[in-house]
Amino acid sequence: MPKPVTVSVEVPQSREQVFAFIDVMPNHAGYNDHFLTDWEFSGPERGVGAKAQAKASALGMTQTVDIEVIEAEAPVRTVERNTAGGRVAQGTYTLDALPDGGTRISFEYRWIETPFAERLTAPLVRSVVRRAVDESLRRLAEQLS
């Protein structure tokens, strides 16, 4: 199993403001569309049970990814479970208040079940995921401004 990938960014908005934005599933399309496209949403718009399906493109391959919010603790964290091509993973947003009133947004991507080919290429897979998530958080910070 690849080791988890964690990326962080700091923004001037409060945890409450950041959580309110991240909690709305359709908002994710705007900062993840560099590698996730053709979004479709179902279930509630926000909170536990919010769902999305998107096409993930990486390493010359495209897969359908199903995403579902499985935990939401305002304004602290949100946990999403995603499945694609035999992979089951969790993405966790953790929001930490900064002394100046801003927020540190950390995102951890953790593999739960991994196809054999991904286990063999774990360093490459982790690198691709790290770059994608780093870009997502950079774009999220821009959208919050």
Question: What CATH number did the domain enclosing 38 receive?
Answer: 3.30.530.20
**pLDDT value, residue 139:** 97
Amino acid at 15: R
- Give the CA-trace dihedral at 54, 131, 103, 26, to 10 degrees: -10
Other CB atoms within 10 A of residue 80 CB: 23
Both tokens of 18, joined, read 């950041």
Measure the CA–CA gap between 109 and 136, rounded to whole angstroms: 12
- Domain range enclosing 140: 5-144
Domain count, the chain: 1
Measure the CA–CA gap between 18 and 104, rounded to whole angstroms: 10
- 91-116 b/e (C-beta count within 10 Å ≥ 16 → b): bbbbbeeeeeebbebbbbbebeebee
pLDDT in tens for each of the 145 residues of the chain?
Answer: 778 999 999 999 999 999 999 999 999 999 999 999 999 999 999 999 999 999 998 767 789 999 999 999 999 999 999 999 888 999 999 999 999 999 999 999 999 998 777 777 777 788 888 999 999 999 999 999 8
**pLDDT value, residue 34:** 92
Cis peptide before 75 (omega within 30 of 0): yes
CB 50 within 8 A of CB 44: yes
pTM over 0.95: no
